[in-house]
A and B are shown apart, each in its own frame.
Chain A
Amino acid sequence: MAYRFSVLFVLMCIALLISCSDTTKPTSATKPLVLVEKKVATAPAKSQDADELVVYSGRKESLVGPIIKQFIGATGIDVKVKYGKTGELAATILEEGHKSPADLFFAQDPGGLGAVVNADMFQVLPYSIIGKVPTWAISGNSLWVGISGRVRVVVYNTKNVDPSEISATLEGFTDPKWKNRIGWAPTNGSFQAMVTAMRVKWGKEKTEEWLKGIQSNEPIVYPNNTLIVAAAGAGEIDVGFVNHYYLYRFLASEGDEFGARNHYLTGDGPGSLVLLAGAGILKTAKNKVNAEKFLSFMLSKFAQQYFAEQIFEYPVVEGIEISRLLVLKKLLNLKLTEEVTKFEIDMSDLAETQALLRDLGLIN
């Protein structure tokens, strides 16, 4: 009988050992686990350099998965991606330190990139990459490059709000007429980026006043943008501060009768901030050349067209045709070429913003 247990124990150990090896060398026993990569490997290899590339992506697979597949198809490089939340992936990279398996960090927002910059873990990007984009899409020391942009907008319920009654700037929302009608997400990274922009542009005092003004209008608090857009569509709130592209997801899954639309604030205030999703190459990258190829590809006309047409984000490279859904190409040009839209989040700036929000009891 003793041997039955030993067999069980040994079997379990073997199972564990087998599962150990599945990332390093795919063995026959773990074939199904690496199905995805197998498919990848059969893609036509046009490039000589068919090494691999490890990407940590804070952008979800639902957004960037298809374009990464295109990259694999075009170059034959075996790209392995770890998808996760931008903040948690940044924390992971910091904990991994110089042992990090990641070559490239593709982040949803400048905050996540800032944390890695702060830890001095990104390498300077070559001109062949940063030369592709206008200066506003490059971080201060050329440590990361913007790949697509999201615009801060006001989402409004079409039944309860006429767009003409929405003020042109953020300041208007402290008006008591918006009492109990606003939705916001103080814990959200994009929102905190907007408040940081406010502090830079308006100064701390005015920003605090604005936040207090909104607070006195008793807004409903949401954990993220998706829920704000959903609430605006259902009429739970009349207006909400979000990024522009969530609306298009709802229009795709709920049809045109979805009850909310975007309102673009005019002028160059923080209400029309463009937030960059960007990427940088780690100092410890083992596949530096492939990582550079990846960035070049993401900044190519083809990939930029994908961001604009398929996931409704703003391209950072000039001369890309914008999806009709994104409206107002004129407005877009006005925004993106102006120096005011360039926005980088410094970690100390973000810390101050969070301290301010904490003092007002908006975050913990």
Chain B
Amino acid sequence: MSSSETLHSGNALAWQPVCRQTDLVANSGVVVRLGDEQIALFYLPETEQQVFAVGNRDPKSAANVIGRGLLGQLAGELVIASPLYKQHFRLSDGGCLEYPEQRLKVWPARLREATVEIASRGDEKPA
């Protein structure tokens, strides 16, 4: 991703609107497509961060389905369970609880007014 270089150079994240708050589903996920990238957005109104953005592709099945998984909390960590084979990924860094070699991309995400924004950093967060 070319944008990652620009991001690393400065601390200011390049925020980009991706959809409206009304497109989100509370305590569940929806998906947006940006270029060739599919990003799953999860809306947890009760949490501090509220919106989380992770890659939509399930590394195990190679199907684009993460946005249709089930949200949960395991040992304090917010996780999304893949709908196909039920493995769990942390929303915080995309790491997989069961298979460390599987990992989802993670984007910084936030709600601005009634708009959902993500920082277009198409890179994994360092673990």
| A, B: real partners | no
| B interface, CB within 8 angstroms of A | none
| A interface, CB within 8 angstroms of B | none
